Amino acid sequence: MNIMAFDIGGTAIKYGLIDEDFNIIVADEMPTNAFYGAQAVVKSIEKKLDEYVGQFDAIGISTAGQVDFATGIIVYGSDNIPGCSGLDFRGILEEKYGVPVAVDNDVNCAGMGEAHFGAGKGEDSFLCLTYGTGVGGCIYWNGDVYRGAKSAAGEFGHMATHAGGRECTCGRKGCYEAYASCRALTDVVSERFDRYMSGREIFKEENLKNPIIIEELDIWENEIVNGLVSLCYIFNPTLIVMGGGIMSEDLLIGHIREKLYKRVGVNYQGVRVEKAQLRNKAGLLGAAYIAKERFDNISK
């Protein structure tokens, strides 16, 4: 069997044709064109699926937002893709293509990918966090993603780390991602330099010697660790997988480990903090994995 998998991001939709052993046969991406709304995104995916009709037996979707995993409906989505709240992704695609469809939150899919093919391979339980525009989380526990009562567990970005603090994109104040996301870092640094500076520019070797950047990076790393300390005391995990493009920086991961070990008690200092390994493939492979699970369950 083959699976068509899609990983929907704010600017691009990654897609791939993947076999039952999770080898990627074809992989590419296309623009999300999110400003046209959720229905336009669905049409883009359908157009790509039409090109591969007859070549796939299941479909996996990784998408931002809170997804009811049992139904495949996006319960809540941000304004990054207008109109996605309430979208019945599974129902639409299963009706049109007549194959099993699985839909889950993008970080859950990334965590599932890392669990089976990446940094979490061989681990029974771990936490996965991604740092980008926001902060996403996945709880991989006892061999599966823990989704909670309403499929909304793992929203680590919206832990309140600063009561009454900065306003978050969710409309509340003091959320972890308002301080620890990549965007939080670039916003502060850009303000201090009076021009936009991307994460990639901030981590250029010459800029890492700038006292302003050294100061802001230290503050930002401490904000990341603030959240990780709480997660360590709640879950006592053996492994924390750190994803997002900015976490590819070896210097950053080293600093986070060092600061975390200084902040937690002796029973928590054995936690390993590792970079995600799959990068752009994590969501695709995770989406393919849940699609195969659904296919197998329906075929029983």
| Tens-level pLDDT at each residue, the chain (300 residues) | 999 999 998 778 999 999 999 999 999 999 888 777 788 889 999 999 999 999 999 999 999 888 999 999 998 776 667 678 888 999 999 999 999 999 999 999 999 999 999 999 999 999 999 998 889 999 999 999 999 988 889 999 999 999 999 999 888 999 999 999 999 999 999 999 999 999 999 999 999 999 999 999 999 999 999 999 999 999 999 999 999 889 988 889 999 999 999 999 999 989 999 999 998 899 999 999 999 999 999 987
Question: Residue 271 in contact with residue 73, Cβ under 8 Å?
Answer: no
The reported pTM is 0.92
Res 185: pLDDT:
97
User: Among candidates 105, 160, 179, which has minimal Cα distance to 136?
Assistant: 105
Res 169: pLDDT:
83
Res 48: pLDDT:
96
